[in-house]
Amino acid sequence: MEELQDQKERVLSYNLGSSELESLGYNRILLQVCGRAGHGKSSFINSLRYAVHGGRFEATASEASATESQGGNTRRRTSYPLTEVITLVDNRGFGKADNYEKEEIYTQLGNLQPLDEEVVWESCFDKRMKAITAAKLNSKDLLLPIFVYSVQCTMADESKEEIKEFLKNAQKLTGFLPIIILTKRYLGDVTTVKQQFKGLGMEQVFPVENYTSEDHIKTPKKDKTFLSILNKILDHVNFLGKEASSFGTQEEQHLKRVQMLLEIAHKNEKEKEKENLKAELDKKPVEKKEKFSCKIL
């Protein structure tokens, strides 16, 4: 129990004052929780808050079922302060994950989508470009991506490649290798799914069983799981702090994110143009060629 209390105290008292990151303008850590709809993002956020603060369990972040899509119950990019330094962000989850949805997810991860506002999937190229270039610089926020995945879902080869691309882009956007949270650990093949993420190059993969409205009886084992994850995150931040000079200021990071998202949007628009052109060509009737004839005079 003493170990749990020490871990909790470290989270509650943590600040960036001893790190070079503060000198670069950072004074808040945004834990960017993302993933498919219904995989347990909101429940994970509630569990972290419950493990740290205790008291009466509250499902502050709205829980969604695995059958819900298009963002589940979370349609806003909602922030939940955990401490004065650490804020949890419940990003809108994705469903069909087409190119335009991915652009919006990347915009959230890059902190170019405002906090605590409705998130709308925008398919208009001009509007997307304007939104990206007009995004305000959030100079105080250090971004750390957390990808939530339910072990009830199997990872086929096609989805594996899609997830791999997403995680790589998340790392490019934030400067951090995503932390993987595997939810519903007792309802699927957690060992196989964990190895699949390790095979994708993910270094930190944590199986969890979230506290929920139906099951929120506190246990030392559950609290230890969530507090250990937070302490691993702080270790990760401290490591980056020692390499802060190579990480760059938030202004530099912001410009890099904007450039990356503009390139993704441009690429997606080109792909859309190709698909539209192909569809038009497929609609055209095939012209019958006249047979060549030769008359002998």
Distance CA 100, CA 103 (A): 5
Distance CA 86, CA 79 (A): 10
Distance CA 273, CA 125 (A): 11
Distance CA 256, CA 23 (A): 20
pLDDT in tens, 90-137: 998 877 666 777 788 888 898 888 888 877 656 665 666 666 666 666
Asked if the structure places residue 293 within a domain, the reply is no
Region 7-30 average pLDDT: 86
Asked if the structure places residue 108 within a domain, the reply is yes
Asked if the structure places residue 296 within a domain, the reply is no
Distance CA 284, CA 112 (A): 42
For residue 150, which amino acid is it? S
Given pLDDT bands bounded at 50, 70 and 90, which one contains residue 201? very high
Asked if the structure places residue 258 within a domain, the reply is yes
Q: Which residues form the domain of 166? A: 2-283
What pTM did the predictor assign?
A: 0.83
Asked if the structure places residue 295 within a domain, the reply is no
CATH number where 206 lies: 3.40.50.300
Which of 152, 226, 219 is closest to 188 using CA atoms? 152
* CB contact at 8 A, 48 and 42: no
Asked if the structure places residue 291 within a domain, the reply is no
Which of 100, 64, 89 is closest to 268 using CA atoms? 100
If one counts the domains in the chain, the total is: 1
Chain center to CA of 32: 6
In percent, the amount of the chain with pLDDT more than 70 equals 80
Asked if the structure places residue 184 within a domain, the reply is yes
pLDDT in tens, 29-60: 999 999 988 899 999 999 999 999 999 998 88
Close Cβ partners of 35 (under 8 Å, ≥ 6 residues apart): 41, 93, 94, 147, 148, 149
**Burial class of residue 183 in the structure, from the number of CB atoms within 10 Å of its CB (0-12 exposed, 13-18 middle, 19+ buried):** buried
Asked if the structure places residue 66 within a domain, the reply is yes
Which of 221, 29, 258 is closest to 137 using CA atoms? 258
Count of CA atoms in the C-beta half-sphere (13 A) of 227: 24
For residue 204, which amino acid is it? Q
